[in-house]
Structure formats: C-alpha cells, structure tokens
Chain A
Amino acid sequence: MIYLIIYKLELAGSFYSWRGAIWIITVASIYSLVAYLLLTDKELSLLDQSEMLFTFSQIIIVLGLLMSAINSSSAISTEIEGGTLECLLLTPIKHSQIAIQKMLSTETIWIILYLISIPYTIVLANGTNLAIPAILYVGLYGTVLSFAISMISIALSWILKNSKNSIMLAIMIVLLLCAPSLFFGTSLRRTDFGLMLESINPYSHAINSLDSILVDNQQAFYEQLPHIWPILVFTMVCSIIFLKVTKKFEVIKL
C-alpha cells in the first residue's frame, strides 16, 4: 500500500540495524534495573507494591514521552537538512500524510516500549489485583500523551527546520510537563499556583490518575474521567496544531 511507504521506511530504520535498535535494548535494560532494584534492594523492598508499581508506571510514561519527543522532533528537519525533503514531496502522497506516517512510526516505538514493560509490571504486581489496571491505564495515558507529544514535535520540526533546535525545544516541553509532578514538593503542589498548574497539565492528570488507581485503589473508569478529559483536550489541541502546520510543506532554500 503506497500510503504506508514512509511509515515502513521509518520503522525499518528503527529495527533492522543494531544502531537503529539499540534503544530497545537500552529501554529493556532500564526497566530491568529499576525492577531489580525495587525488588531486591532491602530498603526499596520495604515500599508497598502499589508504590513500586506507581514509580514504575511513571518511568514507563516519562521514557515513552522522551522517546516520542526526540524521535518526532527530528522527523521533518532531518529531511530538510539531508536534502531529501524534495524527493519526499515528489512522491504522490499528501503532505499531511507524510507527517501522519512519521507520527505513526513514533507511536509504534511507544507501543513497543510499552509492550516490553508488561512483563515487568506483572512481576511487580505479583500477588495484588493491580497488574491489569496498571497495564490498561499506563497504556491509555501513554498512548494518548505520546500521540500529543509526537504531533506537537513534528509541527515544531517543520516550523524550526533545524533538528538541534527542535529536539531541544521538544525535550524542554516534556520536562515542563513533567516538572510539577517530578520536581515540585507536596507543599508547593498544594498552593494555588501548584493546583492551577496541575489542573491544566495533562501529564500531572495522568500521574494523579495513576496514583489514585494504584495507590488509592480507585480503579473504576468513571472515577478517572476528571483526569481523562483534560488529557484528551490537550491531544485535540495538539492535533489541530499538527494538522494546520503540516497541511503544506514547501522547500525553501535556506
């Protein structure tokens, strides 16, 4: 099928060579290290299993977002820098299709990263009823957020037309999204400023939702709806920006 040529090419670059696939081994090694430390270190083993799962879920989502941001933010700019965008635009594929296929290849990377994490999640949740909720909700939040970050990064890649700048900016966006949950203390998060940031931050909603699912045992879907809809709104805003920016690519000699 002609429409999936770019998607296949992108994926081939990520899997068919050792250099391309080294990220998969690295991700699996990070998961192994975290799971091994959580379950064998005496101090860390004192943590409740739900806390362990929550920590591990955060790592999966942060890794997924970073991978999505880095992979997508160089998607168009590398074509421009390599002088291959002209050839790409000559193919009988709509410009938005090119961008969508590149975005789908990033999404596939997230899915592989997520699938690798499942055995670790099952081991960490051993003896509790948290394995299935953890797998399902991490999958949901990771997929939706990864879509959003991929789309905004591809849009940035086209706007900036420079890989270095677009990668830096995309990483900064991911760090900004993660900042309230990862770097703010509990007291700061409870101030008006912290609450305001958390209410508009899709990543915070995902993490707070996972906290209530895994730590507070509130696993019903309707209980998580207040966290789900802001993430969906963010993804919709990102998709509007993505579709508007990637409607037409033009080759401009820099």
Chain B
Amino acid sequence: MKIPSNQLTPRKKPKSNLVGKRIQQSSIFVDLMTLAIGLSVVLFYWSLNPIAFSQLSSPVLNSSSKNPLMISISNPTKIIHELVGKYITISANLNYLRSDKTLDNSTKDGIAYISIVDVKDKIPVDLEDWSVEKGLYIPSISAGQSLPLEWNVRLVKAGSYTISVLFNENRNPFSDPIVSSRINLEVLPKLNLNPSNVLLVAFGVPSLLIGFLGALNYLRGRKTGVYR
C-alpha cells in the first residue's frame, strides 16, 4: 500500500504565520530585557544611596526640616574680603524655636563649632592657627531661647574659603548636625616686602658692630702697646 507522500511529511505551516510569532516572542523578550535593565538600574542606584532612599520614605527628613534648633549667621555681609593676617569675627545665633511639640521645660545641649573649607584646594582647613576657640560647648538651651555665638578667626593663608557654623546635639547621638548658611571668604595675599627698609638694619647692625669692636680692639692695643 502506498502511502501518499503528503500523509508522511508534516504539513507545512504557512511561512507568514511563523515569522509573526517570532516577532511577537522577540518583542516580549525585548520588553522583559528593558524591564530587567530598568529594574537593575533602579536597584543599583538604590544600593548606592540607601540613606537617601530611606530618608525619602522615613519621617527623618520631615523632622530635620522641622528641627526646632536653627543657626543663623548674623554677620552683615555674606562675602568677606580681607587681607592675610587680619582678624575677622564670625557671629551667629543659635535659636531653639518654640513649637507645638516642644515641651516648655525641654532643654538641649551640644557643641557649636565652625568649619572652614578651602574652595580652591577642595579641602577642609585645619583650624590650628586660624582660631583659638575651635568649638563652644553649650550646656543647655531651652525652648524659645537664642544664644549668640562668636569666633575670632585669623586669616592665615590667602585663598577662597567658605565658613559655616554647625551644632551637634549631645543627647541624641544619631541626630543630624544643624548647619548655618555659608559665608564666603576671600583672603587676599599680602606681601611684606621690605617694610621700613630692612636693608638698613640687615647691613647696618653688623657694620656698626664691626666698627665698635674694631675701635675697642684698637684702643686696647694702643693701651697695651700692640699698636703704636
């Protein structure tokens, strides 16, 4: 019995149908890939900035923005131009704002300090020679109170700096520091070239001493008979 050839071989599907299905599958694949890449990008950024994301969802951001403590700079100008070697005074006010949530008898304590950043070198400045008082301990500040803070800063090196005042609360070690707005500081170089003519002293003193000692030696020599 002869089997018809068309019964043994599977029936060929129409070509156009196959191509359509493949296109459909590949578009799903592309969609899935795009979704995966998008998710991985989001997750990657999430892993880089966990604090930022957690802050977005947590009430910390709201609490910091509504922090009853505030530092305001009371210097008249926000840009200071001064020469090297001069002293400037940085004045600020630490305010504990009275809010509905704050108890009347609640007090806070902490350390207020200044931070100077060298803008050109992009490094914070060691305050060793800049200021005698690095930090001020505030034993207590009660709600509604305002404390004046003051630092005398000596301008040691020429350059561009920013100065800000910070306050770290002692009782809550995980609280964010309170930061004031910044003061821009332009320290201009000062050349101390030859004030009051150093040459006169630099050459005059040894010359005078040579003259004086020579005269002394000669007079003694005359007395003892060395010089006749």
Give chain A's interface residues, CB within 8 Å of chain B.
15-18, 21, 24-25, 28-29, 31-33, 35-36, 38-40, 42, 45-50, 52, 116, 119-120, 123, 126-127, 186, 212, 215-218
Task: Provide the B185-223 mask, 1 if CB < 8 A to any CB of A, else 0.
Answer: 000011111111011011111100110010011001000
Interface flag for B158 (CB, 8 Å)? yes
Interface flag for B132 (CB, 8 Å)? yes
Contact B193 A28 (CB under 8 A): no
Q: List 14 A-B contacts (CB under 8 A).
A: A18-B217, A32-B203, A32-B205, A32-B206, A35-B201, A39-B192, A46-B84, A46-B190, A49-B85, A50-B85, A119-B204, A120-B205, A126-B195, A217-B154
Contact B209 A24 (CB under 8 A): yes
B219 to chain A, nearest CB (A): 10
Determine the distance from Cα of A21 to Cα of B213 in the docked complex, in whole angstroms: 7
Instruction: Name A's interface SS.
Output: helix
Q: Which of B132, B209, B216 contacts A16 (CB 8 A)?
A: B216
What residues of A have a CB within 8 angstroms of the CB of B198 in the complex?
35-36, 39-40, 123
What residues of B have a CB within 8 angstroms of the CB of A218 in the complex?
132
Task: Provide the B24-46 mask, 1 if CB < 8 A to any CB of A, else 0.
Answer: 00000000000000000000000
Interface flag for B156 (CB, 8 Å)? yes
Closest 10 CB pairs of A and B: A32-B202, A48-B85, A126-B195, A28-B206, A39-B198, A36-B202, A126-B196, A21-B213, A45-B192, A123-B201
Which of chain A's residues has its CB closest to B210's CB? A25
What residues of B have a CB within 8 angstroms of the CB of A38 in the complex?
192
Give chain B's interface residues, CB within 8 Å of chain A.
84-85, 87, 128-129, 132, 154, 156, 158, 189-196, 198-199, 201-206, 209-210, 213, 216-217, 220
Contact A45 B85 (CB under 8 A): no
Contact A29 B206 (CB under 8 A): yes
Determine the distance from Cα of A16 to Cα of B220 in the docked complex, in whole angstroms: 7
Determine the distance from Cα of A6 to Cα of B195 in the docked complex, in whole angstroms: 44
Determine the distance from Cα of A61 to Cα of B79 in the docked complex, in whole angstroms: 41
What residues of B have a CB within 8 angstroms of the CB of A15 in the complex?
213, 216
What residues of A have a CB within 8 angstroms of the CB of B203 in the complex?
32
Known: A32-B201, A116-B205, A126-B196. 4 other contacts (CB 8 A): A25-B209, A38-B192, A39-B194, A45-B193
Which of chain B's residues has its CB closest to A31's CB? B205
Determine the distance from Cα of A17 to Cα of B189 in the docked complex, in whole angstroms: 47
Which of chain B's residues has its CB closest to A186's CB? B128
Q: Which of A16, A42, A120 contacts B191 (CB 8 A)?
A: A42
What residues of B have a CB within 8 angstroms of the CB of A17 in the complex?
217
Q: Which of A35, A42, A52, A127 contacts B202 (CB 8 A)?
A: A35
